[in-house]
Chains A and B, each alone.
Chain A
Amino acid sequence: MALVAERWGLIPELQSFAKAGKPVWGTCAGMIFLAESAEGQKKGGQALLGGLDITVSRNFFGAQINSFETRLAAPECVKSFGSTDDFRAVFIRAPAVLTAGPGVEVLAEYPLTPEEAAAHGRDKVIVAVRKGVLMATAFHPELTTDIRWHQAFVDMVRQHSQQPDATPPPLFGNLGRLPNRPTDLPVYGKAHMATEAL
C-alpha cells in the first residue's frame, strides 16, 4: 500500500490533507499508515503518514490462522448510535497499538487470551484510538453490517466542518458499484458461511 502510494506521489498529498486538519480514518494497514512509529516492518521499512502519536506493532497477532473475530465493548461515540454496548470486530493479520502518547483517546481495547498474554508479556492491547480528527482502528468495521463506527466518523467530520446539523447529500443508488465492475461481496456472519442479515 505504502509502496504504491509512494510511487504515485500520494504520500505528500495525503500528508498535507491530514496536516490541514482534515479528518482521516485508517483501518488495519491504514492504522499503521497514520502511526508515528511502527514495529515489525519489512526490510528497509515503509513510508508512514504519521500524525497519530502511537506505536503500533504490525501483524501483532501473527499469521492468518490467528486472524479472528470477537465482540468488544463499544466506546461512547459508537454506542450512542445504537442500542447494544458492544460491537462485532473482525481482525485480519491485524496490527495493535503498543503505546499511545498523551492526548490520544483510547476508544477500544482487546483483552489478550492467556496464550497471547504469555507471548507478549501484557494482558491487553489498544485497538482503536482517536486524536482530534484522526481516528484509527485495528479491526475492519467495513467488513460487518454494523455501521456505528462509520456514523461516529461522519459525526466527527460534521463537528469538524462546524455543520453539526448538516444532512448528508442523498446517496446514489449504485454507490460502491463502478461501471463494468462486479458489486460488493456479501457480509458473512459468524455462523458457517451464512451471511449476516442487513
Chain B
Amino acid sequence: MASEKGTFAVKVGLAQMLKGGVIMDVTTAEEARIAEEAGAVAVMALERVPADIRRDGGVARMSDPHMIKAIKAAVTIPVMAKARIGHFVEAQILESLGVDYVDESEVLTPADEIHHINKHNFKVPFVCGCRDLGEALRRIAEGAAMIRTKGEAGTGNVVEAVRHCRTVMGAVRNLQTMDDDELYVYAKEIRAPVELVRQTKHLGRLPVVNFAAGGVATPADAALMMQLGMDGVFVGSGIFKSGDPASRARAIVQAVTHYNNPQVLAEVSANLGEPMVGIDVRDKNFTSYAQRSE
C-alpha cells in the first residue's frame, strides 16, 4: 500500500493536534525559542509583527526565506508563515521551504482582491481568516484545513475577534434550528456551498479547527476567546510588543490551558509588565485589515 502525503485528513489532523494551544508570531530565531520554552504549540514566522506593519504602512509581503529557515532550524514545534491573499507563488515558495502551515493572511497586502488561493493544489495545509460563517465555509471550500477569526491584527484590541467569533458561533447555533429544506436558500444567502452548510449544521461546529486571532493581548483576552468556544488562540503583536515577552507568553499559554479557572487566570495575570499599546478600531484614521477580503 503506497502512502499518500497531504490528504485532507492529514492537513486537518495537524490542526487538531494544536487544539487548546497558543500560536505565537515571532520575527527571529531567539523569539521563536522564547515562544517554544513558553509552551507555544507552533510559531508564525514573519518579518514584522502586525503592529509594526500598521506603523510602517506600505506593501507587506511574504517574509525572507532565510529568516523562515533560521526559525525552522531553531525550534522543533511546527512553523507557520504568511502568504498574501491570492498569491499562490508565495505559497509555493513557503511549501518548498517546508513550513508546516501557510496562513493566507489579510495582514499582508492582498495580491488578488477577487480570488483566494486554490488551496487544494498544495500538500501544505492552509489557515485562513474569517468574519462570519459564509466566509469561513468559502475558505474551507477552497481547501483551508483550519480557520481563524480575522479580528484586527496589530491593535491589541480584542473587540473585533470577539465580534467575529460571536458571529460565527451564533450563525452555527441558528443553523442548528433550521429545517434541512431551508439550507439551500440559507447557503445562497451566506454565499457558501450547501454541502458544507449541511455538514456544519449536523456537526454543530465548523468542520475544521477554529482559532481566535487578531487583537488578543492578555491572558484574560485569550481565556475569553476560549470560553466563547474557540479551539485555540493566535497571539500576534501581543507578546513581543509587550514589556516582558517571556512572562507574557508563558502566562497566555497557562491562561488557555486553564481558561475556565478564574483563580489560575488571576495568578498568571499578575506582574506581567506593560501590555502592548492598544488601538481603538473606531478611530476615524483606523485601517481595517479584516475588510480586505471576503
Give A contacts to B, CB under 8 Å. Answer: 3-4, 7-8, 28-29, 40-44, 58-59, 62-72, 86, 90-93, 113, 140, 143-144, 180-183, 185-190, 192-193, 195
Contacts and interface: CB of A to CB of B under 8 A. Distances in A.
B39 A4 contact: yes
Interface string B176-213: 00000000000000000000000100011111111000
Contacts of B98: 62-63, 65
Contact of A180 (B3, B9, B123, B229): B229
A59 B39 contact: no
Given A3-B39, A185-B208, A68 B9 contact: no
A188 B8 contact: yes
B9 A42 contact: no
Contacts of A29: 17
Contacts of B6: 65, 67-68
A8 B3 CA distance: 39
B253 interface: yes
Given A3-B37, A28-B17, A187-B9, A68 B100 contact: no
A181 to B, nearest CB: 6
28 contacts: A3-B37, A8-B257, A29-B17, A40-B76, A42-B76, A44-B37, A63-B72, A64-B101, A64-B124, A67-B10, A67-B14, A68-B3, A68-B6, A70-B2, A90-B10, A93-B14, A143-B13, A182-B204, A182-B206, A185-B16, A185-B203, A185-B208, A185-B209, A186-B199, A186-B207, A189-B9, A190-B4, A192-B8
A65 B9 contact: no
B55 interface: no
Contact of A69 (B3, B39, B78, B172): B3
Contacts of A7: 39, 254
A70 B4 contact: yes
A71 B4 CA distance: 10
A2 to B, nearest CB: 9
B203 A69 contact: no
B13 A92 contact: yes
A186 B203 CA distance: 8
A4 to B, nearest CB: 5
Interface string B7-27: 111101110110000000000
Contact of A90 (B13, B120, B205, B231): B13
B229 A43 contact: no
B257 to A, nearest CB: 6
Query: Which of A42, A62, A67 has the most B CB atoms < 10 Å from its CB?
Result: A67
A69 B37 contact: no
A58 B78 CA distance: 12
B132 interface: no
Given A92-B13, A92-B17, A183 B203 contact: yes
Nearest to A142: B16
